[in-house]
Amino acid sequence: MEGEYSLDIVLPENASLELILILLPGCGADIGIAASLTGAGASLDISSATFAAAHDRFSIRTNVAHCAPGASSNQIFKNIAVGDSRVEFAGRIKVEEGSASTEAYQQCHSLLLSDSAVVTTCPELEIYADDVKCSHGATVGRINEDELFYMRSRGIGEQVAKSLLEKSFLFEVVDKIQDESLRAQVQTKFETAFEQYPGI
Amino acid sequence: MNTMSDILLEIKDLHASVEDKEILRGINLTVRTGETHAIMGPNGAGKSTLSAVLAGKSQFTVTSGSVTFLGRDLLAMSPEERAWAGIFLSFQYPVEIPGVSINNFMKAALNQKRKAAGLPELKGAEFLKIMKEKMAAVKMDPAFAKRAMNVGFSGGEKKRCEIFQMAALEPVLSILDETDSGLDVDALKIVSDGVNALKTPSTSSIVITHYRRLLEYIVPDVVHVLKAGRIIRTGGAEIVDFIENNGYEAL
């Protein structure tokens, strides 16, 4: 199912929200998340796992505004792209004046499993306050050859080793789903995707 | 007496390069069943290249020569096939694998080896028994089984984890690549006790080291000196003493 989804989040004093985003192949989507941490001590946690395959197009935009002191946000995005798929990520963190002791972190890591898949990441930090801890990190890459060789040298066949590494990459996010039966359902969906769309 | 049939590993005139630079320049080495060989040499001699070539790392190109392991052409085998045939390389720098627990890693490694031998997968209880026994053998805290492989481990913990994997996989030929580097005396003792406890009349080891220290704990039958890509001396423990007193330059 293709579609546009937008989410507006306002977090007042001491409110907290944990959001987990699961994007499966065959349902390309355009997702916009705008969050304002307007109260002191508010906290936001966004985790996202995307598997893009074939001609999927995923666009994920986040805009997190820290407007109060002592609030924290933590975002982690993990993307796997195979086939001719495309994943675009743009993540903006803005720390307004007066938002002292803010902690804001954002990470976006992508694994490219075909020559024609494309991932673009665009992190953006705007900071107008002192005494803040902010960081962002983005990587786009292939399966790590050293990790693969280490596993193969222990007798784990190449395909099994790759599949373990790819699954562990996404399951870091999936493991955060607290509801056991929902977590198992999502795991099965991703496992099916790995079987259906093997990378190179 | 040893006979030809006792030969486990035979390296003949092995040349290997990385990015067109020749590192190994004609290695000859024969390891028989039950033997412990030490390969000593200064930095840059090609010690780690030799171990990587034996384990099948693709960055190195073998330009000539042959390696036979249990009568098979080792160089034609993939890294996993070498492991299934009984080769184990303990890495100088064990690799961290985020997200893959030691449990899941070992389950895959043991079951893939069994599959290659035509055996059924281990049952849950059988697997747990192996984990428990082998971790105890190297005095490794069982809590490590749930941690991601080598992630956040100290130098000593990583080396201990290598020896634990060696114990669990029961190789025929273990290659220990500078297992002593970065270890304090206590860790060195635990690791070498583990290696010694695993020694059997039907297994062999190649211990690669820069220093004499490790060879006080793991006593070799044969000592080789590797320099500039060639083995320039082969003998017994007297070579270790000579190097200790005179350095590699004197050879």
Identify the helix (H) or strand (E) that includes residue A60.
strand A57-66
Residues 6+ apart with CB under 8 A from B93: none
Asked if B48 and B133 touch (Cβ cutoff 8 Å), the reply is no
Q: How many CB pairs under 8 A join A and B?
A: 73
Residue A114 pLDDT greater than 80, yes or no: yes
Residues 6+ apart with CB under 8 A from B135: B141, B142, B144, B145, B164
Q: What percent of chain B has pLDDT over 90?
A: 77
pLDDT digits (tens, 9 = 90+) for B100-143: 999 999 999 999 999 999 999 999 999 999 999 999 988 899 99
Interface test with A, best of B18, B95, B164, B174 (most A CBs within 10 A): B95
DSSP assignment of B108-154 equals: HHHHHHHHHTTPPPPPHHHHHHHHHHHHHHTT--GGGGGSEETTT--
Q: Which residue of A has its CA nearest to B53?
A: A153
Q: Verify whether the Cβ–Cβ distance A165 to B104 is below 8 Å.
A: no
Phi and psi based region of residue A137 (left: phi greater than 0; alpha: psi -120 to 50; beta: remaining): beta
Asked if A65 and A94 touch (Cβ cutoff 8 Å), the reply is yes
- CA–CA separation, B46 and B227 (whole Å): 7
Q: Verify whether the Cβ–Cβ distance B112 to A155 is below 8 Å.
A: yes
Q: Verify whether the Cβ–Cβ distance B109 to A156 is below 8 Å.
A: yes
pLDDT (0 to 100) of residue B1: 46
Chain A residues in contact with chain B using a Cβ-Cβ cutoff of 8 Å: 146-147, 149-158, 160-161, 164-165, 168-169, 171-172
pLDDT (0 to 100) of residue A22: 96
Q: Verify whether the Cβ–Cβ distance A149 to B80 is below 8 Å.
A: no
Q: Verify whether the Cβ–Cβ distance A149 to B57 is below 8 Å.
A: yes
Q: Verify whether the Cβ–Cβ distance A156 to B94 is below 8 Å.
A: no
B-chain residues within 8 Å CB-CB of A151? 97, 100, 105, 108-109
Residue A2 pLDDT greater than 80, yes or no: no
Asked if B34 and B201 touch (Cβ cutoff 8 Å), the reply is yes
Q: Verify whether the Cβ–Cβ distance A150 to B94 is below 8 Å.
A: yes
**Closest CB from A147, A154, A169 relative to B109:** A154
Residue A60 pLDDT greater than 60, yes or no: yes
pLDDT digits (tens, 9 = 90+) for B48-104: 999 999 999 999 999 999 999 999 999 999 999 999 999 999 999 999 998 899 999
**Closest CB from A146, A153, A164 relative to B104:** A164
Smallest CA-to-CA distance from A115 within A87, A81, A65 is with: A81
pLDDT (0 to 100) of residue A23: 96
Q: Which residue of A has its CA nearest to B109?
A: A156
Identify the helix (H) or strand (E) that includes residue B29.
strand B21-32
Smallest CA-to-CA distance from A50 within A42, A38, A58 is with: A58
Identify the helix (H) or strand (E) that includes residue A37.
strand A29-37
pLDDT (0 to 100) of residue A1: 47
Chain B residues in contact with chain A using a Cβ-Cβ cutoff of 8 Å: 55-58, 78-80, 82-84, 88-89, 91, 94-100, 104-105, 108-109, 112-113, 116, 165, 169
Q: At what angle do helices A145-153 and A158-174 cross, to 10 degrees?
A: 120
pLDDT (0 to 100) of residue B5: 59
CA angle B58, B60, B63 (to 5 degrees): 120
State the pLDDT confidence band at B184, using cuts at 50, 70 and 90. Answer: confident
State the pLDDT confidence band at A41, using cuts at 50, 70 and 90. Answer: very high
Phi and psi based region of residue B170 (left: phi greater than 0; alpha: psi -120 to 50; beta: remaining): left
pLDDT digits (tens, 9 = 90+) for A127-165: 999 999 999 999 999 999 999 999 999 999 999 999 899
- How crowded is the C-beta side of B94, counted as CA atoms within 13 Å? 31
Residue B168 pLDDT greater than 90, yes or no: yes
Q: Verify whether the Cβ–Cβ distance B109 to A155 is below 8 Å.
A: yes
Structure tokens at B65: 């020569």
pLDDT (0 to 100) of residue B3: 52
pLDDT (0 to 100) of residue A11: 98
Structure tokens at B64: 């000539």
Asked if B156 and B165 touch (Cβ cutoff 8 Å), the reply is no
Asked if B227 and B248 touch (Cβ cutoff 8 Å), the reply is yes
State the pLDDT confidence band at B186, using cuts at 50, 70 and 90. Answer: confident
pLDDT digits (tens, 9 = 90+) for A84-98: 999 999 999 999 999
Mean pLDDT in residue range A22-33: 93
Q: Which residue of B has its CA nearest to A175?
A: B99
pLDDT (0 to 100) of residue B211: 83
Mean pLDDT in residue range B163-187: 91
